[in-house]
Structure formats: structure tokens, C-alpha cells
Amino acid sequence: MNDLLGEIAALKKQHNAVILAHYYQDSEIQELADFTGDSLKLARAATKVANPTIVFCGVHFMAETAKIMNPEKRVLLPDLKAGCSLADSCPADRLYRYQEMLRANGRRFQTVAYINTTADVKALSDWIVTSGNAEEVIRRVPADQEILFVPDRHLGQYLQEVTGRQMILWNGACMVHEIFSVGDLLAQKRQLPGAKTIAHPECPANIREHSDFVGGTEAMIRYVEGFREPADFLVATEANMLWQLQHQTPRHHYHPVPGITCACNKCPHMARNTLEKLRDCLADGGPEIDWRPEFGRARAVLERSLLN
């Protein structure tokens, strides 16, 4: 393990690379990263780094976003197959046909896409949101337009509740957040009656309604920091997030809410990135995210949505 960490450090120096890691990466990867963050923080960090090479430890749409914002930089992803069930649920050709059908029916709407989408879907959208800025962006959509929200129906429902804006919802979901067990959560709450439940807005309503706080991963960090005395938190998001919460605010106790089929609910796509693959991609200079012409339109939508 120490040899591997030494190799990664040497290769990083040799290639003047910076490592960005999402909070859902394994703890060893988060520990050695130069920046950790949620989707919004990492997308913004990717616009500020000076290094010519970015190694993105996250899933494909995140590395693609980093490339879109940095056409001149080399963006590497340790495993190109690290996908996302949400991005997969909304292929660009299906979205285009659906938008055309709405237009043919005289509907006036703007398309708001969660950042968990491909560049082609971003290019077909008017706005891009993350869990960190979604409410703010939704409030910027003109009131005389309907909103087509893609692809996460649970995040969309949550945004309808908090903003009061009705939306046309795409029928996608995150395979990790969709399977938290409400029965196990209620049992945990009985065992730890003083515990606060914190849930990601990608969770379905049956989990959100039993939660004290609903927010993205960065908002969760701020929420637990606000408790000065040690407390218990039941955490309904990808289980690697518990490492980051523990790392930043160690005075509390964090308990993962189990999934329906597992005690510890982890994203199989994020898990494709390993320390070995991180070392290999630095050594080989790949896999790399290549620039494609549709990135240009996606970039304009990302800039107006995320950088303001």
C-alpha cells in the first residue's frame, strides 16, 4: 500500500497533475486527493486549477464536465466505464424526441438537467443544476415557462416541494439512493431516538419524509458542523460519505442507513476507480476524456448555470 501511494505521489509530481475526488470515492482515494468535493465544488475547482493534467476520481459525467470546462487540459479518469444510472436513464436522442413532442403540442418550456447527464444531454438543455445549486437555478427559470426536469424524478419531486414550481419529470433514478430501506431506517430511529436523519435529495419521498435534513453532500457537511455537542446522525447517502463526515467533524457518530439488500450502500460505478487504476492512468496518460464538438454548447449552458 505504501509503495503504491509513493508511486502515485511520484507520478503526480512528474506529470504536474492534480487529483480531484468525489465524496463517494473510497476513503484511500479521498485521503490522497488534492481536492475533495460534491459535484458543484469539483466542477468549480476544475476551472481554477493550474496543472496541465487533471485526474478525476469520480464517474464519467464528472470527468467529462471537467474537460468541457478545460478544453486545453488533459483530463484522465481511472476507469472509463465508471458510469451512472441517472445519466444512463436519459439518452440524448430520447430527450430530443420528447422535447420535439412537447413543442409540437405548443408547450413553452425550458429544460433543466441535473449535472448527472451526458454532454449531449447538457447541450440540449437550458440549465444545469447540481444538488448544491438546484433551488437557486430553478428560481431563475422565467415563471411563464414550464420546466422539463431530467433525469432524476426524486430530486425533481423534492425541488417541486421546496420551490413550489410544478415540473414535467423524467423517469430516472439513482440506483444507490433509490434502495434505502425505510423499514431499517425506522428501526434505527427507534434504537437511537436522539439521532438526526440526513438524506440526499436523490432519495425517494418515503426516506425524505422521515429525515430531519435533506441536502446534497456539501450541505450535509455544513449541517452536522452546526451541532456543537457530539450527536448521532443516520446518513442516507452513498456510504463513502461517512468517511468524509468523520474526517471533517469527528466529534459526532455517523451510522449508514442500510440499503434493501446491503448494510452499507455503495455506488458500484464510483467503486470502479481504485488506487491501482489511479496509478496506471497517471503512468499511461490514459484513459483520457477526448474533446467532442458538442462540448461547446454544453460548456455555454454549464457556465451560465454553475459559475454565476
Pairwise CA distance, residues 154 & 202, whole Å: 5
> Phi, psi (5° rounding) for residue 196?
-100, 140
Q: 19 or 282, CB closer to ligand 13P?
A: 19
How many other CB atoms are there within 10 angstroms of residue 80's CB atom? 15
Partner whose footprint covers residue 38, from ligand 13P, ligand SF4, none (CB < 5 to 8 Å by kind)? ligand 13P
Buried b (16+ CB within 10 A) or exposed e, 245-266: beeebeebebebbbbeeeeebb
The stretch near ligand SF4 (CB under 6 A) out of 27-35, 180-188, 264-272, 296-304 is 264-272
| Under 8 Å between Cβ of 204 and 179 | no
Q: 85 or 181, CB closer to ligand 13P?
A: 85
Instruction: Tell me if 269 contacts ligand SF4 by CB under 6 A.
Output: yes
User: At a CB cut-off of 8 Å and minimum separation 6, what does 28 contact?
Assistant: 1, 275
Instruction: Tell me if 179 contacts ligand SF4 by CB under 6 A.
Output: no
Instruction: Tell me if 130 contacts ligand 13P by CB under 6 A.
Output: yes
CB of 267 to ligand 13P, least distance (A): 7
Instruction: Tell me if 133 contacts ligand 13P by CB under 6 A.
Output: no
Partner whose footprint covers residue 178, from ligand SF4, ligand 13P, none (CB < 5 to 8 Å by kind)? none
In the numeric block, the cell 481554477 is attached to 48
Interface positions, 89-128, toward ligand SF4 (CB under 6 A)? 116
Cis peptide before 151 (omega within 30 of 0): yes
Instruction: Tell me if 287 contacts ligand 13P by CB under 6 A.
Output: no
Q: 105, exposed or middle or buried, with CB in 10 Å at 0-12, 13-18, 19+? A: exposed
Q: 159 or 267, CB closer to ligand SF4?
A: 267
The length of the chain in residues reads: 308
Pairwise CA distance, residues 261 & 273, whole Å: 23
Pairwise CA distance, residues 148 & 146, whole Å: 7
Partner whose footprint covers residue 132, from ligand 13P, ligand SF4, none (CB < 5 to 8 Å by kind)? ligand 13P
Interface positions, 183-212, toward ligand SF4 (CB under 6 A)? none
Interface positions, 8-47, toward ligand SF4 (CB under 6 A)? 24
Residues that bind ligand SF4 (CB under 6 A): 24, 59, 84-86, 116, 174-176, 238, 267, 269-270
Residues that bind ligand 13P (CB under 6 A): 38-39, 116, 130-132, 174, 202, 216-217
